[in-house]
Amino acid sequence: MATAVITPERENYLNQEYGIKSWLLTVDHKRIALLYLVSITFFFFIGGFFALLIRLELLTPAGDLVQADTYNKLFTMHGQVMVFFFLIPSIPAVLGNFLVPLMIGAKDLAFPRINLLSWYLYITAGVLMLHCICTGGVDTGWTFYTPFSTAFSNTKVVEAGVAIFIAGFSSILTGLNFVVTIHRMRAPGMTWSRLPLFIWAHYATSVIQLLGTPVLAITLLLVVFERVFHLGIFDPTRGGDPLLFQHLFWFYSHPAVYIMILPAMAVESEVVACFTRKRIFGYNFVAMSSIAIAVFGFLVWAHHMFVAGISLYSALIFSALSYLVAVPSAIKVFNWTATMYKGSITFTTPMLYAFGFIGLFTMGGLTGLFLAALGIDVHVTDTYFIIAHFHYIMVGGAVMGYLGGLHFWWPKISGRMYPEWLGKFAALIVFLGFNLTFFPQFILGYMGMPRRYWQYPPEFQVLNVLSTAGSTILAVGYVLPMIYFLWSMRYGKPAPDNPWNAAGLEWKTSSPPPTFNFDQPPVVNFEAYDYEHIPEVEEVPVV
């Protein structure tokens, strides 16, 4: 690289142009990533606010804080906002957008304008969703189950459906952009076997986005048509089958879990490699397990429907297939653990999140085994057990991965260091708050407390109080990083190009990178995670 000396005036993607227009009309993947960062953070706190209200309502067995209808809208919109407006775009659209071109040595994504279009689609969908929320909201549950959503709910189902339909296209375009970029834009020498595992996981994610999302889109479109024109495709009184809706819905919405968790696994591999100073143990297996998850993830959807009235035989098939998808996830956990063996481990904030991720994802994954077991699923499905399970995956997994990744690449993104001690403190709070919130819900679930309950029998109260207490701690843990990230943008220590002494092309350019990413087009003549050839610096990196 041209220089290692940090000069704040150096031209980079942030200071090259100023003004609102330079942001709103940008085609630079890094700037679009920041646009996404701001918008998904906004929706994250909206969804989080709903979550807090839900937890507050559940503090007492009686429904005394909000009305039943309000509560139903709260959990519906919490789910829809968090799933479609935060989790699905979170890592791909922010970190992926920022890093995929940098990691493969490209100047930009293959279709910069489509990338911007995808953000505008997201914003259109978001505005529509906000409008829907502000003018009364929707109460179908994020799953839109028919015939409730098509014939019974008198809330803004159409609006929410259209919003998610549009958000789906944003997601499709992001995935399309990544696949083409990874195929066509790699720097000379960047062979498939040299790709960072981050890229492999994002590739797998994109495949799911491309092939799954359209099915959700058409399904929601049919729901909207059915609601408006009373078609009868999902309405049993007109000969339709409500289970068909569930099949189509889960065909996307199960793989959608992998859209959320695969990118977190992507972050995990980078962080673990960097802070153990090692090549990831079993690179090929970790890479292939991402692809395997993307494929197997499509074979298991009906395990959400074991008690819904599907045939016994198909329940058997889907249960067996569900165990198949557990194998590649297990492979990843084992490989990350093995990577630590004989490493040289430092406990930075991203690494703390990585530890948290492995722990929580392991627990989320293992409880998935319970749910895939037919006999147990009958008892625990639609209870708090399943709530706890998927929050362990989506919050314990995906959000921990997202936060870890944000800390890891923050110096690259902003050119500033965040306060490390605060970072560690927040990571600890998130971990503790999370477990206190969601662990009691496993027990609640097995005891039989159904999900989506506004009021509940009093014997469930103790565990609910614990959970609510945890959620307030968790909220603090989430607000902290937002504060100190904002603070660091102005007051943080200027970041060196490679603060973690990490491998990977993104660290070989300046922090923040120039608009076209690299001063000289990079040529790759080293393997991924080439820590063997990166000498350790004497002092432990910025604490």
Residues numbered 227-256 forming contacts with another protein, rule: CB under 8 A: 229-233, 236-244, 247-248, 251
Under the criterion CB under 8 A, does residue 56 sit at the interface with another protein? no
Pull the structure tokens for residue 406: 């944000």
Nearer to another protein, 272 or 398 (CB): 272
Q: How many whole angstroms separate alpha carbon 195 and alpha carbon 182?
A: 9
Residues 6 or more apart whose Cβ sits within 8 Å of residue 355: none
Side-chain-side CA neighbours of 133 within 13 Å: the count stands at 20
Phi, psi for residue 416 in degrees, rounded to 5: -130, 155
Least distance (Å) from another protein to the CB of residue 482? 28
* Beta partners for residue 377, in sequence order: none
Nearer to another protein, 9 or 538 (CB): 538
Q: How many whole angstroms separate alpha carbon 318 and alpha carbon 303?
A: 6
According to CB under 8 A, which residues from 276 to 295 bind another protein?
A: 276-279, 281-285
Q: How many whole angstroms separate alpha carbon 418 and alpha carbon 481?
A: 9
Under the criterion CB under 8 A, does residue 184 sit at the interface with another protein? yes
* Beta partners for residue 334, in sequence order: none
From candidates 36, 50, 89, 108, binder to another protein by CB under 8 A? 108
From candidates 205, 335, 349, 471, binder to another protein by CB under 8 A? 335
According to CB under 8 A, which residues from 348 to 367 bind another protein?
A: 355, 358-359, 362-363, 366-367
From candidates 95, 100, 157, 333, binder to another protein by CB under 8 A? 333
From candidates 24, 127, 369, 486, binder to another protein by CB under 8 A? 369
- Contacts with another protein, 415-434, as mask; x by CB under 8 A: --------------------
From candidates 33, 102, 204, 315, binder to another protein by CB under 8 A? 315
Nearer to another protein, 17 or 487 (CB): 17
According to CB under 8 A, which residues from 63 to 102 bind another protein?
A: 63, 68-69, 72
Q: How many whole angstroms separate alpha carbon 360 and alpha carbon 394?
A: 10
Q: Which stretch binds another protein (CB under 8 A): 1-9, 84-92, 318-326, 426-434?
A: 318-326
Pull the structure tokens for residue 293: 């998850």
Nearest to 249 by CA among 410, 177, 141: 141
From candidates 135, 337, 483, 525, binder to another protein by CB under 8 A? 337
Task: Look up residue 18 and give its DSSP letter.
Answer: -
Does residue 250 sit in helix, strand or coil? helix
520, exposed or middle or buried, with CB in 10 Å at 0-12, 13-18, 19+? exposed
Under the criterion CB under 8 A, does residue 466 sit at the interface with another protein? no
Nearer to another protein, 177 or 488 (CB): 177
Phi, psi for residue 481 in degrees, rounded to 5: -60, -40
Q: How many whole angstroms separate alpha carbon 125 and alpha carbon 167?
A: 5
Least distance (Å) from another protein to the CB of residue 46? 21
From candidates 123, 373, 428, 466, binder to another protein by CB under 8 A? 373
Nearer to another protein, 131 or 184 (CB): 184
Q: How many whole angstroms separate alpha carbon 289 and alpha carbon 295?
A: 10
Residue 4 CB neighbour total at 10 angstroms? 9
Pull the structure tokens for residue 24: 């709103």
Q: Measure Cα distances from 439 to 257, 387, 414, 530 in Å.
A: 20, 10, 35, 39
Least distance (Å) from another protein to the CB of residue 107? 4
Least distance (Å) from another protein to the CB of residue 418? 20
- Whether 272 and 280 have beta carbons less than 8 Å apart is answered as yes
According to CB under 8 A, which residues from 116 to 155 bind another protein?
A: 139-141, 145, 147-148, 151-153
Task: Look up residue 382 and give its DSSP letter.
Answer: T
Q: How many whole angstroms separate alpha carbon 79 and alpha carbon 86?
A: 10
According to CB under 8 A, which residues from 186 to 205 bind another protein?
A: none
Under the criterion CB under 8 A, does residue 107 sit at the interface with another protein? yes
Q: Which stretch binds another protein (CB under 8 A): 129-137, 306-314, 420-428, 496-504?
A: 306-314
Under the criterion CB under 8 A, does residue 458 sit at the interface with another protein? no
Task: Look up residue 332 and give its DSSP letter.
Answer: H
Considering CB under 8 A, how many residues would be counted as binding another protein?
149
Count of all residues that appear for the chain in the document: 543
Least distance (Å) from another protein to the CB of residue 407? 18
Under the criterion CB under 8 A, does residue 378 sit at the interface with another protein? yes
Residue 421 CB neighbour total at 10 angstroms? 10
- Contacts with another protein, 513-532, as mask; x by CB under 8 A: ---x----x---------xx
Under the criterion CB under 8 A, does residue 257 sit at the interface with another protein? no
Under the criterion CB under 8 A, does residue 33 sit at the interface with another protein? no
* Beta partners for residue 494, in sequence order: 416
From candidates 158, 180, 465, 480, binder to another protein by CB under 8 A? 180
* Beta partners for residue 416, in sequence order: 494
Under the criterion CB under 8 A, does residue 500 sit at the interface with another protein? no
Residue 228 CB neighbour total at 10 angstroms? 11
Nearer to another protein, 130 or 218 (CB): 218
Buried b (16+ CB within 10 A) or exposed e, 171-189: bbbbbbbbbebbeebbbee
From candidates 214, 422, 479, 542, binder to another protein by CB under 8 A? 214
Query: CA 387, 389, 392 angle in degrees (round to 5)?
Result: 105
From candidates 24, 127, 316, 523, binder to another protein by CB under 8 A? 316
Under the criterion CB under 8 A, does residue 10 sit at the interface with another protein? no
From candidates 24, 314, 519, 523, binder to another protein by CB under 8 A? 314
From candidates 381, 467, 468, 498, binder to another protein by CB under 8 A? 381
Least distance (Å) from another protein to the CB of residue 342? 4
From candidates 434, 456, 478, 485, binder to another protein by CB under 8 A? 456
